[in-house]
Structure 1
Amino acid sequence: MQVAVFALAALIGVGSALGLVLRRNPVHGALFLVVNLGSVAVLYLTLGAQFLAAAQVIVYAGAIMVLFVFAIMMLIPGKEETGPDPRRLVRLLAIPLGVLLLLEVLLIVAARPAHPGGRARAAVGVQAIGRLLFTDYLFPFELTSV
């Protein structure tokens, strides 16, 4: 069941990311970004990272997206016809170059060993992450808030 939820959230995440990139309307793109950030939160939940899922929903899908949508609605230019597309050549080259980049990434991932040599100590649960944030990692945590 958990694998099915993970796979569904991953498919929704990839689909919404494609919708975000391929839509011309910035408001639609922002809404696809909200769906993408929500699916990332579900992925965090399936991996057992409740704190990251809550932070994802509160910070990104909530506050930042409200700001994005507000800025887009306030600053969106009028629908004006501009003539021929000045970036036609760039748009035509984007698909083959994107496929080439994807192949390069797949080759790099396939060439790496499946298991790294060492294993990092992981903090499990919200309490452990909170304790580490406010004790051992307090200075970096405060530094990121500046």
Structure 2
Amino acid sequence: MITNLFYFLSFVAVLSALMVVFSRNPVYSVLYLIITFFAIAGHYVLMQAEFLAVVHVIVYAGAIMVLFLYVIMLLNLNRESEPHKSNILKFAAAICSGLLLVVLVGSLRGTELLKHSEAGEVSSTMGGVKNLGKVLFTDFLFPFEIASVLLLAAMVGVVMLAKAEKKTNL
């Protein structure tokens, strides 16, 4: 039963990810991306990481996709005003994507997949909030704090960029 659900979620995730790439309408691409995010959240639930599934749905399918839709609506993408891409640029993009594929395959080449006996030995509290918090604030405390400082610096930068200059008449 679980393997059938895994295969179904995987099929939905791959199909909707392909539809993101091949869809002509950017709004439809964003909607297909939301379906992909929900399928990935389903994988988290299958791995008994319910907290990560909920956070994934809230952050990605909620906040990030709303921002994507907002940007797409602001850009007002018209096909008439889109510049034509040259064949050299398309060829360079194909070469770069092929090189990225080679790098990804090379990085995953040395990894081992879980065997069926090891997959059954996974703890039921593996994706729980308590264990996640313990790992986050013990093993990964320094990267967590660095990320928070970077987010704070980005927020201050956005406020400074958005702040209008006041002209004073003396």
Whole-angstrom CA distance in 1 between matches of 2:45 and 2:73: 32
Distance 1:106 1:132 in 2: 29
Cα gap change, 1:82 to 1:31, in 2 (>3 Å): closer
Per the alignment, residue 57 of structure 1 pairs with 57
Aligned residues: 138
Distance 1:113 1:80 in 2: 47
SS at match of 1:80: coil
TM-score, normalised with respect to structure 2: 0.63
1:24 counterpart SS class:
coil
1:77 alignment partner, SS class:
coil
Aligned equivalents of 2:42, 2:58: Cα separation in 1: 13
Distance 1:63 1:108, change over 3 A: closer
Q: Secondary structure at the match of 1:16?
A: helix
- Counterparts of 1:60 and 1:81 in 2: how far apart (Å)? 30
TM-score, normalization by structure 1: 0.72
Amino acid at match of 1:76: N
CA distance in 2, matches of 1:79, 1:22: 16
The 1:115/1:34 distance shift into structure 2, 3 A limit, reads closer
Distance 1:99 1:142 in 2: 35
**Structure 1 stretches of 4+ moved >3 Å:** 85-109, 111-116
> Are 1:127 and 2:130 matched, yes or no?
yes
Structure 2 residues not aligned, in runs of 5+: 115-122, 152-170
What does 1:1-146 align with in structure 2 at a 5 Å threshold?
1-80=1-80, 86-87=85-86, 112=110, 114=112, 124=126, 125-133=128-136, 135-136=137-138, 137-145=140-148, 146=151
Q: Kindly provide the CA deviation profile for residues 24-68 of structure 1, in whole angstroms up to 9, marking residues without a partner as x.
A: 221111111111111111111111111221111011111010011
What amino acid is the match of 2:135?
L
